[in-house]
């Protein structure tokens, strides 16, 4: 998985690196669900398309993660895979694959209350991109 | 991080961060030499300084001794805003709106139930829904859910889950005025409909405790506390409903702050003017979440009473499980407070801070009018908690606020790392605490070493005059999500 957890006293910080913006956003979505559950237990049977907008790439990242976190918290949808179909600095279209939560097969490892704006960033590095975001857990 | 040079020591319990750059007021930290050690390594003080940038902030950006790095506002932060010039910030309340504590006393003595504690903990664990995404005993219709949002704990009492006396012993009587369900999103309503009466996960808990030490005998008598008495402490909040309300309004205000020209050092501080429609809408939605939380803790208490009665084979009168008090520690409230000798209406944000109103305050129940408000300070799961009383010092100095708990020092990942090869339930049992948790990692994340020493935190507020020590309670058993 292309992310690492960084220390935050009360919450959980995640840093995602990748070669393109698509990789960063898809990687962040996977990181979220990798923390939530065991991804290997999730099947990719159901597709969902989501479109989000933001003020800039960091705001877009937070809004994207807020939206897919609601797919879990509100609709009990567990994501297995994510493909970014379109991305610009202020708009993103993604296709999620996954399935409804089934307590007999899925285990929830970690509650994630919310995706915070605190120190959220998406930055260009020498040969790619790095994003950081903090989850309230 | 913030360099040591930024702090100016005022006295043994007070440090100042003098205003620089865009700070409108100083930062004021209530802490001690001991707790200051290592503070520089935490982002908390920078966050205290960031909050001082917000428009209409009055007097100072305050931090209680349990302060630690949050997001936007530090946890343990208190800030008050002028109603005309100032703002309200969902991040200054937190995602878990009206997260709080309620303490119940009983007629039981430790000697009566010492052998029964493991059985009681197991029964509570079975009967009180806890853990990630757990569902409550009720499935609310949209109409019922909206009633809960307006009526708060009274809704639960009206449906047989408690008594009028419970409402009397709850901050704001268990219902905040101004709640408007029309200001709440469908998403929040959806998340709220099945979670009422659930404990939650993470640092939320239900504990059986024993009164170990009394510091103020007359206040303890007024609070109905005696040495050796068995008590129950519940720590929970507004569950997914509150998180969604915060999330919805934060996103709206992130856009809005730029539009109205408020320059934010951190997006998580997003806010709206108190006198704007957006600000008022947030307060009306926040009040709904506050009321949801009070109804939630009322249901949790009811379940606890029934579990004790059944497990011990006792009648309600015999058990005598009485609500001592219920406080919230994540909230924004419009209150009348003294500033430079004048009474002013302010919007006080308490993010990980507890109201601590003084003796004689009209908002206190008659039984506590002489002592000051009971303040409940939970510790880590191996320690126990404190009961304090509100003071005039807090009223005049910290907008009627004090600390809310021990405060984390270790991140959850650090805590888990330090647990490798250890059995936390066994370690806790050796300390005389029976613990049960539904989440696999919860006990490791919540080990006592992950928190500041509760005694150190309470010493600061006691000596700084922000509240008075009344009693210390020790944990016997604990269930966590």
* A116, A120, A132, best to mutate vs chain B, most B CBs in 10 Å: A116
Query: Is the separation of the CB atoms in B90 and B282 below 8 Å?
Result: yes
Nearest one of B403, B43, B415, B27 to A134, comparing CA atoms? B43
Q: So what's the ipTM on this one? A: 0.93
- How is residue B97 annotated by DSSP? T
**Any idea which of A104-108, B84-88, B107-111, B385-389 has the lowest mean pLDDT?**
A104-108
Nearest to A29 by CA among A41, A19, A16: A16
pLDDT at B1: 54
Q: Could you tell me the pTM of the whole model?
A: 0.96
Please name which of B45, B109, B56, B114 lies closest in space to residue B82, comparing C-alpha atoms.
B56
> Which class for B295: exposed (0-12), middle (13-18), buried (19 or more C-beta within 10 A)?
buried
pLDDT at position B38: 67
Residue B252: pLDDT above 70?
A: yes
Q: What is the C-alpha to C-alpha distance for residues B241 and B401, in angstroms, rounded to an integer? A: 26
Per-residue CA distances from B84 to A95, B275, B398 (Å): 45, 6, 20
pLDDT at B4 over 70: no
The number of residues making up chain B comes to 481
Q: Taking a C-beta distance cutoff of 8 angstroms, is the pair B374, B368 a contact?
A: yes
The pLDDT value recorded for residue B128 is 95
Residue range B104-124: mean pLDDT, rounded: 96
CATH of the domain at A68: 3.55.10.10
* CA distance, residue B173 to nearest chain A CA (Å): 27
- Whether B361 sits among the annotated catalytic residues: the reply is no
**CB–CB of B479/B129 below 8 Å?**
no
Max distance between CA atoms of chain A, in angstroms, equals: 45
Rounded to an integer, the average pLDDT of A86-100 is 97
Average of per-residue pLDDT values in chain B: 94
Tens of pLDDT, residue by residue over B323-339, are 999 999 999 999 999 99
Least-confidence region, from A58-72, B32-46, B214-228: B32-46
pLDDT at B40: 59
Contact criterion met (CB < 8 Å) for A9 and B132: no
| Local confidence band at B295 (pLDDT 50, 70, 90 cut-offs) | very high
Q: Which position has the token pair 């005694």?
A: B455
CA–CA dist B330, B461 (Å, integer): 18
> Could you tell me the pLDDT band of residue B421, with boundaries at 50, 70 and 90?
confident
Tell me the pLDDT tens digit for each residue of B52-81.
999 999 999 999 999 998 888 999 999 999
Total tally of structural domains belonging to chain B = 1
Chain B residues with CB-CB distance to A76 below 8 A: 133
Q: Which residues contact B480 (CB under 8 A, 6 or more apart)?
A: B130, B199, B201, B204, B205, B381, B435, B436, B437, B438, B439, B442, B443, B446
Mean per-residue pLDDT for B298-308?
A: 98
Condensed to tens digits (0 to 9), the pLDDT of residues B422-432 reads 889 889 999 99
Which structural domain range is residue B217 located in?
4-480
Contact B96 A113 (CB under 8 A): yes
pLDDT at B472 over 70: yes
* CA distance linking residue B476 with residue B434, whole number of Å: 6
Q: Is the CB of A74 inside 8 Å of chain B's CB atoms?
A: yes
* B288 vs B201: which has the higher pLDDT: B288
Supply the CATH number for residue B266's domain.
3.90.1860.10
The predicted model gives B367-396 an average pLDDT of: 96
Identify from B412, B437, B444, B452 which residue to disrupt to test chain A contact, counting A C-beta atoms within 10 A and taking the largest count: B412
Contact predicate B250/B268, CB 8 Å: yes
Number of separate domains in chain A: 1
Structural element, H or E, at residue B301: helix B277-312
């Amino acid at each position: 998985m292309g992310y690492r957890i960084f220390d935050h006293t009360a919450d959980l910080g995640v840093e995602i690196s990748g070669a393109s913006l698509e990789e960063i956003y898809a990687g962040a979505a996977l990181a979220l669900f990798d923390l939530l559950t065991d991804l290997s237990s999730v099947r990719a049977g159901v597709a969902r398309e989501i479109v989000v907008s933001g003020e800039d790439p960091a705001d877009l990242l937070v809004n994207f993660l807020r939206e897919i976190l609601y797919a879990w918290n509100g609709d009990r949808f567990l994501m297995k895979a994510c493909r970014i179909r379109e991305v610009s600095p202020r708009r993103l279209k993604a296709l999620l694959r996954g399935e409804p939560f089934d307590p007999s097969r899925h285990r929830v490892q970690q509650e994630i209350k919310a995706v915070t704006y605190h120190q959220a960033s998406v930055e260009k590095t020498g040969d790619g991109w790095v994003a950081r975001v903090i989850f309230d857990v | 991080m913030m360099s040591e040079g930024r702090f100016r020591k005022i006295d043994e319990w007070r440090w100042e961060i003098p205003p620089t750059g865009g700070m409108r007021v100083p930062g004021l930290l209530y802490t001690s030499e001991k707790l200051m050690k290592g503070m520089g390594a935490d982002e908390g003080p920078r966050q205290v300084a960031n909050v001082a940038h917000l428009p209409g902030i009055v007097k100072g950006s305050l931090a209680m001794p349990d302060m630690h790095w949050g997001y936007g506002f530090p946890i343990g932060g208190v800030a008050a805003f002028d109603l005309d010039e100032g703002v309200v910030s969902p991040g200054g309340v937190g995602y878990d709106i009206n997260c709080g504590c309620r303490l119940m006393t009983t007629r039981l003595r430790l000697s009566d139930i010492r052998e029964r504690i493991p059985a009681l903990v197991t029964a509570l664990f079975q009967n009180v829904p806890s853990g990630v995404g757990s569902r409550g005993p009720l499935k609310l219709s949209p109409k019922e859910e909206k009633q809960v949002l307006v009526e708060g704990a009274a809704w639960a009492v009206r449906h047989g889950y408690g008594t009028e006396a419970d409402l009397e012993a709850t901050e704001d009587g268990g219902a905040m005025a101004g709640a408007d369900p029309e200001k709440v999103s469908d998403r929040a309503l959806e998340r709220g409909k099945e979670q009422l009466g659930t404990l939650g996960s993470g640092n939320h808990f239900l504990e059986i405790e024993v009164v170990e030490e009394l510091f103020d005998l007359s206040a303890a008598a007024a609070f109905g506390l005696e040495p050796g008495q068995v008590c129950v402490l519940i720590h929970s909040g507004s569950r997914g409903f509150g998180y969604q309300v915060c999330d919805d309004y934060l996103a709206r205000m992130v856009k809005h702050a730029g539009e109205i020209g408020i320059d934010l050092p951190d997006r998580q501080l997003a806010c709206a003017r108190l006198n704007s429609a957006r600000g008022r809408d947030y307060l009306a939605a926040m009040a709904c979440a506050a009321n949801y939380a009070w109804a939630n803790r009322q249901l949790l208490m009811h379940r606890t009473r029934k579990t004790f009665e059944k497990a011990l084979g006792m009648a309600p009168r015999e058990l005598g499980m009485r609500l001592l008090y219920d406080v919230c520690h994540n909230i924004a409230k419009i209150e009348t407070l003294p500033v430079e000798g004048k009474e002013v209406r302010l919007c006080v944000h308490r993010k990980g801070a507890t109201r601590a109103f003084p003796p004689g305050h009209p908002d206190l129940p008659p039984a506590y009018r002489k002592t000051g408000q009971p303040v409940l300070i939970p510790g880590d799961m191996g320690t126990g908690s404190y009961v304090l009383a509100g003071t005039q010092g807090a009223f005049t100095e910290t907008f009627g606020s004090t600390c809310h708990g021990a405060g984390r020092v270790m991140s959850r990942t650090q805590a888990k790392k330090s647990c490798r090869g250890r059995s936390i339930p066994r370690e806790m049992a050796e300390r005389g605490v029976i613990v049960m948790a539904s989440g696999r990692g919860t006990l490791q994340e919540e080990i006592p070493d992950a928190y500041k020493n509760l005694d150190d935190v309470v010493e600061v507020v006691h000596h700084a005059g922000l509240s008075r020590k009344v009693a210390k309670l020790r944990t016997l058993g604990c269930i966590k999500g």
